[in-house]
Structures are given as structure tokens and as C-alpha cells.
Amino acid sequence: MEVKKHIVFTGGGTLGPVTPLLAVAAEWRKRNPQVKLTWIGTPDGPEKILVDAARIPFIAMHAPKFDRTRWWTWIALPFSMARSCIQAFRIISELEPSLIVSAGAYVSVPFSWMAKILGVPTWIHQLDIVPGLANKLMAPFAKRISVTWEENVKDFGTQKTFIVGGMIRSFLRLGDATTARELFGLRKEKPTVLVLGGGTGAKSINEILVVIGPELLRHANVLHVTGRGKMLSALEEIGDGYVAREFVGEGLADMYAVADVVVCRAGMGTISELVALGKPAIILPLAGHQEVNAKALEDRGAAEVLHHVTPQTLLQSILRYVDHPEKRDALSSKIRAVFPTNGDERIVYEAERILTGEGKCV
């Protein structure tokens, strides 16, 4: 009789490392309906809502984060990490997982280290072109490392690293533009702009849209996801056809389906969605790794990137694509070719082979 596999996913704090793992979890259930899944996340992050919606048992755990801007907190870091490692050791011992999977989050680090001691294999996925500190700390202990971009193979070596591309939650492919128009009261004769601030929203983007929203509404419908706790009353008063929501769940699929242009950050979860759905995008990257992600798209001619954003530059950029369908089509064609988007299938296939002793495991 086959032993039921128990896969533990770890990640949270932001949705960046969460949404790709939810795609992997869904694919695992599709391939093996008997698999047992558990999620280890943060107590206050946005991930619990999505994990609960996916019907995956959730365990919250504190984990220290190396904050370069608050150097005075470093003195407590060893003690915090030791406490987290003890908690992780206890949780792993109780759950007895077959495999622990992470996509780079600080809550994952103690689990990776304690899994090595307990003999539980770990798998990490590198989303961004620039490897994060969490993945650097976990990589030496991982059995396998998957990456989105070919540029990342050199960061971890070829022995246990392979390219899988991106991945998105399967429901995002099932959106319907007609449903979106009916649900949000959008005018069919107008193109639609979708504004996303990332997993936790973007205060600066919201403030810019307050300024340019009325003019933008003259040219297009606008769907704007502000982020929880970041709604501005002025956004709700711009007018008919400007729809602002703090958060959407599966309704995001319909928003994507009706969107002609997407304005967004450069987190890898969002980029993977743009690539998979072929959406023309205007990228407003945050400083750091998002700038590198955005440059990879820019170098491929697959998106327009605004490095210095003002209300006027953003409005001009949006209208350039709203008013010229041929420019949208060119971006759509190029972004679809950036990387494959069946990474979830490739990860599950290879992980199953390793767990059954068929695949390479180093």
C-alpha cells in the first residue's frame, strides 16, 4: 500500500512567494488527489486568506527577518532564529512531511535548516533574477532548486538546479471578459485598464491614480485593486467606470480577462501572470530586485517600464497603449515568449519522481 505523501509549503509575509506555491499545490492535488498538504506562514501576512481559500491547513509561525535598514535589531537575530529553529524542529517532527517546498521567504529558513537535521528533503524555487537572502541561506541544504529565469542557473550551480519557467494559479486562465463587464458595469466600447499594486497594494500608485483617474476615465474603464487598508475615498468617487477594490480573490481572473492594459509592480507572481495571459503591461518597479525583473522584460521588448513615475508620465504611457491597439498587440506577442508558464507541472513531476526514488536527488 502506497504511503500518503505529505507536502509542506512554507512562505508568506508578502504574496510574492505565495501565489506560485499555490499553483504548485493545485497541480499536486490534480496529479495526486490523495496528497496531504500543509502550509507554514506568517501570523500577520496576507497569505492566510489565499491559503484558506485553497483549503490547505495553515500554521502561523514567527521568523526573524534580516532588516538591513534597522541594524540595531541584529543583536537579537541569533536568539530569534534559535527560537524559530526550535519551533520548526517541533513542527516538522509532528507533521512528518515527505517534502518541504519554499519559494524564498524568511519563515522558510528555519524549516530548511531543521529539515536537513531531520532528514526531510527540501525544494526551493527561485522566482526573481536576483536571488533573495532567504534562498541563499537555504540553497546549500536543498535537494533540488528550480528557477524561473535561465540567468539563475549560474547562481546555484547546475548539479541540482533546473529551469522551469513561471507558474500561475489555474483559475486565472478561466476569466471571462463579459462577466467582468457585467459585474463591474464597464462600457464595452471602451478599453479597460487594470491597476495592481502587488500583494499588499501600493500607496504611491493609489495616490497617483487619484490625480489622473478622472482624465483616464475619459478614455478607458479602470479596474483598480488598491490593497487592503490602502483604499482612498477619492478613488471611489471618480465616477462610473472607475472601479476600486481593496482586494479581489478569484474575481481577479475576470479582471485580467477584460484588461487591455495592466499597470503593476514587478513582483514575479505578477510577471508570471502577465506572461501566461499575454497581457500588455506598464511596469512600475520597486527599487531592488523588482528593477532587475523589470529590466529583463524591458530588454526583451516585452513591457514598458517606468523607472521614474509622475502622474503625467504614467498617464501619457497608459494613453499611448489605450489609444493604439497595435502597440498593445506587439507587447502581448513579446511577453508571451519570455518564459514557459507550466513551472508548476514540471516541479510536481520532478518532485514526485524524487519521492518515489526515480529522479535525481543530490
> Does residue 96 have a pLDDT over 80?
yes
Is there a single domain that holds both residue 108 and residue 210?
A: no
Is there a single domain that holds both residue 205 and residue 124?
A: no
Please indicate, yes or no, if residue 12 is contained in any of the structural domains: yes
Mean pLDDT of 110-116: 96
Task: Give the whole-angstrom CA distance, residue 273 versus residue 106.
Answer: 24
Is there a single domain that holds both residue 66 and residue 122?
A: yes
pLDDT of residue 10: 96
Q: What is the pLDDT of residues 262-294, one digit of tens each?
A: 999 998 889 999 999 999 999 999 988 899 999
Please indicate, yes or no, if residue 92 is contained in any of the structural domains: yes
Is there a single domain that holds both residue 189 and residue 320?
A: yes
Q: What is the pLDDT of residues 50-71, one digit of tens each?
A: 999 999 999 999 887 766 666 5
What is the share, in percent, of the chain residues with pLDDT greater than 90?
A: 77
Q: Does pTM surpass 0.75?
A: yes
> Does residue 133 have a pLDDT over 80?
yes
Lowest mean pLDDT of 73-77, 199-203, 330-334, name the range: 73-77
> Does residue 361 have a pLDDT over 50?
no
> Does residue 221 have a pLDDT over 50?
yes
The CATH number of residue 97's host domain is: 3.40.50.2000
Confidence class of residue 309 from pLDDT cuts 50, 70 and 90? very high
Q: 150: domain range?
A: 6-167+342-355
Mean pLDDT of 127-141: 92
Is there a single domain that holds both residue 93 and residue 179?
A: no
Is there a single domain that holds both residue 235 and residue 286?
A: yes
Is there a single domain that holds both residue 349 and residue 222?
A: no
> Does residue 3 have a pLDDT over 80?
no
Task: Give the whole-angstrom CA distance, residue 199 versus residue 201.
Answer: 6
What is the domain count for the chain? Answer: 2
Confidence class of residue 8 from pLDDT cuts 50, 70 and 90? very high
pLDDT of residue 362: 47
Confidence class of residue 73 from pLDDT cuts 50, 70 and 90? low
What is the Cα Rg of the chain in Å?
21
> Does residue 1 have a pLDDT over 50?
no
Is there a single domain that holds both residue 176 and residue 295?
A: yes
pLDDT of residue 59: 96
HEC assignment per residue over the chain: CCCCCEEEEECCCCCCCCHHHHHHHHHHHHHCCCCEEEEEECCCCCHHHHHHHCCCCEEECCCCCCCCCCHHHHHHHHHHHHHHHHHHHHHHHHHCCCEEEECCCHHHHHHHHHHHHHCCCEEEEECCCCCCHHHHHHHHHCCEEEECCHHHHHHHCCCCEEECCCCCCHHHHHCCHHHHHHHHCCCCCCCEEEEECCCCCCHHHHHHHHHHHHHHHCCCEEEEECCCCCCCCCHHHCCCCEEEECCCCCCHHHHHHHCCEEEECCCHHHHHHHHHHCCCEEECCCCCHHHHHHHHHHHCCCCEECCCCCHHHHHHHHHHHHCCHHHHHHHHHHHHCCCCCCHHHHHHHHHHHHHCCCCCCC
Please indicate, yes or no, if residue 360 is contained in any of the structural domains: no
What is the share, in percent, of the chain residues with pLDDT greater than 70?
A: 94
